[in-house]
Structure 1
Amino acid sequence: MRIVEIREMAVPLEGSVANAVVDFTRHTVSLVAVITDVTRDGVPVYGVAFNSIGRFAQSGLLRDRMIPRVLDAPPDELLDPDTGILDPERVLRAALADEKPGGHGDRASAAAAIELACWDLLGKLAGEPAYVTIARTDGRTPTRRPAPVYAAGGYYRPGDDIAQLREEISGYLESGYRAVKIKVGGLSLDDDLRRVDEVVSTVGSGGAVAVDANGRFGRELALTYAKALEPYRLRWFEEPVDPLDYGATAELTATYDGAIATGENLFSRQEVANLLQFGGIRPNREILQMDAGLSYGLTEYRGMLDVMESAGIGRAHAVPHGGHLINLHIVAGLGLGGCEAYPGVFQPFGGYSTDCAIEDGTVTPAEHPGFGLEAKVELSGLISRLVG
Structure 2
Amino acid sequence: MRIVEIRERTVPISSSIRNAYIDFSRMTLSLVAVVTDVIRDGKPVIGYGFNSNGRYGQGCLMRERFIPRLLEANPEDLVDESGENLDPFRIWDRMMINEKPGGHGERSVAVGTIDMAVWDAVAKIEGVPLFQLLAERFGSGEPDRKVFVYAAGGYYYPGQDDSKLKDEMQSYIDRGYTVVKKKIGGAALEEDLRRIDSVLGILQDGQMLAVDANGRFDLDTAITYAEALSRYDLFWYEEPGDPLDFELQATLRNYYERPMATGENLFSMQDARNLIRYAGLRPDRDWLQFDCALSYGLVEYLRTLDMLHQHGWSRSRCIPHGGHQMSLNIAAGLGLGGNESYPDLFQPFGGFPDGVRVEDGYVTLPDLPGIGFEGKSDLYREMKRLAE
TM-score (norm 1): 0.97
- Secondary structure at 1:298's aligned position in 2? helix
2:50 matched to 1:50? yes
State the 1:160 CA deviation: 0.5
How many angstroms apart in 2 are the aligned matches of 1:86 and 1:142? Answer: 23
- Secondary structure at 2:344's aligned position in 1? coil
Q: Deviations over 1:292-348 (max 9, x none)?
A: 001110011111111111111111111100112111111111110011100011112
State the 1:144 CA deviation: 4.4
Of the structure 1 ranges 260-269 and 130-139, higher mean CA displacement relative to structure 2 is found in: 130-139
Give the conservation status (yes or no) of the 8 Å contact 1:149–1:341.
Answer: yes
- Secondary structure at 1:292's aligned position in 2? coil
2:99 matched to 1:99? yes
Equivalent runs, 1:118-137 vs 2, <5 Å? 118-137=118-137
How many angstroms apart in 1 are the aligned matches of 2:206 and 2:216? Answer: 22
Alignment partner, residue 156 of structure 1: 156
Alignment partner, residue 178 of structure 2: 178
State the 1:69 CA deviation: 0.4
Of the structure 1 ranges 241-250 and 81-90, higher mean CA displacement relative to structure 2 is found in: 81-90
The amino acid across from 1:283 in the alignment is P
Alignment partner, residue 254 of structure 1: 254
- Secondary structure at 1:171's aligned position in 2? helix
Alignment partner, residue 237 of structure 1: 237
How many angstroms apart in 2 are the aligned matches of 1:238 and 1:203? Answer: 20
Q: Pairwise CA RMSD of aligned residues?
A: 1.3
Of the structure 1 ranges 166-175 and 199-208, higher mean CA displacement relative to structure 2 is found in: 199-208
CA 146–206 in structure 1, closer or farther in 2 if over 3 Å, else same: closer
Alignment partner, residue 337 of structure 2: 337
How many angstroms apart in 2 are the aligned matches of 1:191 and 1:112? Answer: 37
Q: Deviations over 1:97-131 (max 9, x none)?
A: 10000001110010011111111111211222111
How many angstroms apart in 2 are the aligned matches of 1:176 and 1:233? Answer: 20
More helix by share: 1
Give the conservation status (yes or no) of the 8 Å contact 2:19–2:183.
Answer: yes
How many angstroms apart in 2 are the aligned matches of 1:131 and 1:382? Answer: 23
- Secondary structure at 2:172's aligned position in 1? helix
Alignment partner, residue 32 of structure 1: 32
The amino acid across from 1:367 in the alignment is D
State the 1:93 CA deviation: 1.1
The amino acid across from 2:28 in the alignment is T
Identity within the alignment, % = 49
How many angstroms apart in 1 are the aligned matches of 2:290 and 2:205? Answer: 26
State the 1:366 CA deviation: 1.8
- Secondary structure at 1:80's aligned position in 2? coil
Q: Deviations over 1:128-173 (max 9, x none)?
A: 2111112112142233431111100101111111000110011001
State the 1:63 CA deviation: 0.5
Alignment partner, residue 113 of structure 2: 113
How many angstroms apart in 2 are the aligned matches of 1:56 and 1:41? Answer: 35
How many angstroms apart in 1 are the aligned matches of 2:337 and 2:83? Answer: 31
- Secondary structure at 1:45's aligned position in 2? strand
Give the conservation status (yes or no) of the 8 Å contact 1:206–1:235.
Answer: no
Alignment partner, residue 169 of structure 2: 169
Of the structure 1 ranges 200-209 and 174-183, higher mean CA displacement relative to structure 2 is found in: 200-209
State the 1:279 CA deviation: 0.5
The amino acid across from 1:346 in the alignment is F
Alignment partner, residue 211 of structure 1: 211
How many angstroms apart in 1 are the aligned matches of 2:370 and 2:40? Answer: 15
Give the conservation status (yes or no) of the 8 Å contact 2:327–2:339.
Answer: yes
How many angstroms apart in 2 are the aligned matches of 1:91 and 1:353? Answer: 28
Give the conservation status (yes or no) of the 8 Å contact 2:15–2:26.
Answer: no
The amino acid across from 1:112 in the alignment is G
The amino acid across from 1:60 in the alignment is C
Alignment partner, residue 225 of structure 2: 225
Of the structure 1 ranges 80-89 and 164-173, higher mean CA displacement relative to structure 2 is found in: 80-89
Structure 1 unaligned segments of length 5 or more: list them.
Answer: none
Alignment partner, residue 292 of structure 1: 292
Alignment partner, residue 351 of structure 2: 351
TM-score (norm 2): 0.97
The amino acid across from 1:340 in the alignment is E
Alignment partner, residue 360 of structure 2: 360
The amino acid across from 1:118 in the alignment is V
The amino acid across from 2:267 in the alignment is F
How many angstroms apart in 1 are the aligned matches of 2:185 and 2:310? Answer: 34
How many angstroms apart in 2 are the aligned matches of 1:338 and 1:104? Answer: 25
How many angstroms apart in 2 are the aligned matches of 1:21 and 1:76? Answer: 45
Q: Deviations over 1:327-385 (max 9, x none)?
A: 11111111100111000111121111222231111011122111111222321221111
How many residues are matched?
388
State the 1:41 CA deviation: 3.0
Alignment partner, residue 12 of structure 1: 12
The amino acid across from 2:307 in the alignment is V
Q: Deviations over 1:257-281 (max 9, x none)?
A: 1111011111111111111111011
Alignment partner, residue 379 of structure 2: 379
How many angstroms apart in 1 are the aligned matches of 2:367 and 2:53? Answer: 23
Give the conservation status (yes or no) of the 8 Å contact 1:14–1:347.
Answer: no
Alignment partner, residue 304 of structure 2: 304
Alignment partner, residue 326 of structure 1: 326
Give the conservation status (yes or no) of the 8 Å contact 1:355–1:366.
Answer: no
Alignment partner, residue 140 of structure 1: 140
The amino acid across from 2:368 in the alignment is H
The amino acid across from 1:109 in the alignment is V
How many angstroms apart in 1 are the aligned matches of 2:173 and 2:364? Answer: 17
